[in-house]
Amino acid sequence: MLSDDELARIREEQEETERWRRYSCHVVAEMLEACAICGAVREKEHLNRCQWCDDTYFCKDGLCAPQHRADVHADVAYWTW
């Protein structure tokens, strides 16, 4: 049978692990975002943010940026290509 000190240590470890889990998921969520076109979840450094939409990201590489502009901002896309 475990002593009171051992039980207290185990409880403390579990509380610390749970606290780390709660905070770490928010940290990871701040680093990741999904592309509005292809749906790929990437680090924000690999995505561009749309200057006209609120909170819309698309891939830096590939055709996601032109496709977003053509679908959502067709009048602007004509002048930026």
Q: What letter represents residue 43's amino acid?
A: E
Is residue 80 very low, low, confident or very high in pLDDT (cuts 50, 70, 90)? low
Residue 35 carries which DSSP code?
A: -
Is residue 53 very low, low, confident or very high in pLDDT (cuts 50, 70, 90)? confident
Using only C-alpha atoms, the chain has a radius of gyration, in whole angstroms, of 22
pLDDT tens digits along 2-35? 788 888 999 999 998 888 888 777 777 788 999 9
The per-residue pLDDT for 76 is 65
CA 49/CA 55 separation, integer angstroms:
7
* Structure tokens given for 9: 């240590």
Average pLDDT over residues 27-50: 89
Is residue 79 very low, low, confident or very high in pLDDT (cuts 50, 70, 90)? low
